[in-house]
Each structure stands twice: as structure tokens, then as C-alpha cells.
Amino acid sequence: MKKELEIKKVSYSNPNVNISYPEIINHNNLKHGIQLNEILKSEAMQSLEQYGGNEQGYELDVDYIPKCVGNTLISIQYVGSSYVKDGAHPKSLFFTVNLDVKNSRKLLLRDVVKINDEFIDLLRGARYVPYDSDLNVESEAREELSNYSNAELIAYLNKSDEVSDINELGVFTYFADESLGISFNVPHALGDHVEFEIKYSDLKNHILTQNIVWRDTTPTLAN
């Protein structure tokens, strides 16, 4: 029986910054384990530049939530906040990283699904998932989605999962137990970001079946 991957928490800190990220501790291939851990660290540490952690007067706090840690797929949510000295309020942060364990590489949304009009229709009808029990902005979040045409959303989703300015709408994806999650930026009054989840069973005609993640994680879809 193949042993499931295990992770441990690693932390980086300075007087104004706290960043935690996962590290794989039992990969059976040392080279692949090192490569995967470098990606996990790099993605977390990019928040220093992207969210102001390297700038004087900024505070940054980032932790992670493991959504999936398997032998073929790792999906991690990074959550936290950034705050500029004398600012009106902290900003809620959300970004993710998905890893193809077999090939020791980062996965983008465009690597695993066909991003087309039909996929956008699924997104528009997806289940809203509040990240805070006190924050329910479903109607406002759906209105934000409606502000973008299908063509615009396709363009944004094709630039997703990058902690950089190229990802203009701040689109990040993650793999939950039964759904593919998609997050994007919204105004601060709505919580800075919102998440929707599309059931894997609804993705039957949209997955890229050649990706080993689908074959090993959700085999009924990939057949």
C-alpha cells in the first residue's frame, strides 16, 4: 500500500511578517519532494512582494489550509491579511497553489479544465461558499460576476493561480472533497474575495482527462 503524503508547518517571520506554509516530510522520491517543497515555499513567499510585506509600514500575516494532500494532488489555500500603518482597515488575502505530485509541478486552472463559455455558465451557477460565518454576500457576489462578460471571465481565468499582477482579478482555484473551488477579488465591503464551488460531477464534459490528477483523484470523471 502506498503511504499517504504528510506535511508539517514551516514558518517565516520578521517583526511585521508571519508566513506559514506546508512542507512535505515523507515523499518517497527525494528529488521530487524537494521540488514540490520549493514550489510550496515559493508560492507562499511571493506574498511578501505581492501584498506589501517587503514595504516599510506594512504588516502581513499568512497561514494555510490543506484542502487536499494526496499521492497525486496537493491543493493548498493560503489565507491571511495585510495592513498598512494608519490604514483604514486590513485587507483579507486569499491565494492557492495546486500541485501535480507525480510530475512535481504547479497546476493552473487551464491545465485541468476547458475554460470556455460552458465552463463560465457552470461558474455563474456554482455554489457560493462564505469564508466567514458572519459574512454572507451571495447576491452581491453573483452581481459582481454578472458585471463581466463570458469573454472577460475566460480571459481572467486563463491567467488564474498566479500570485502576480498578471492575475488581474485575483482568481485562484482549489480542490475540495467534492468540488472545484474558484475565488476572485471583490471590493472590501464584500470581504475582499469570494469563493464559488463547482461539483466535480458537473465537470464531466469540461475536464482535461489527460491530466493524471483527474485519473487518480476522480476516476469516474476521467473515464
The whole-number mean pLDDT for each consecutive block of 10 residues of the chain, a chain of 223 residues, reads 78 92 87 92 90 76 93 93 81 94 93 95 96 89 96 97 94 94 95 95 84 66 55
Report pLDDT for 26: 85
pLDDT (tens digit per residue) in 118-147: 999 999 999 999 998 888 899 999 999 999
Strand ranges of the sheet holding 179-185, from the earlier edge strand across to the other edge: 127-128, 193-199, 179-185, 172-175
Q: What is the largest CA-CA distance in the chain?
A: 55
Q: What percent of the chain has pLDDT over 90?
A: 65
DSSP result, 22-56: EEES--SSHHHHHHHHHHHHHHHHHHHHHTTTTST
**Measured between alpha carbons, how far is 111 from 220 in angstroms, rounded to an integer?**
19
Can you point out the beta strands (E) in 50-191?
A: 58-69, 73-84, 91-100, 105-107, 127-128, 172-175, 179-185
Question: Cα 171 to chain center, whole Å?
Answer: 8
pLDDT (tens digit per residue) in 17-31: 999 999 999 887 788
Report pLDDT for 93: 94
Name the grid cell of 101: 505530485
**Measured between alpha carbons, how far is 186 from 188 in angstroms, rounded to an integer?**
7
Report pLDDT for 223: 54
- Number of Cβ atoms within 10 Å of the Cβ of 18: 16
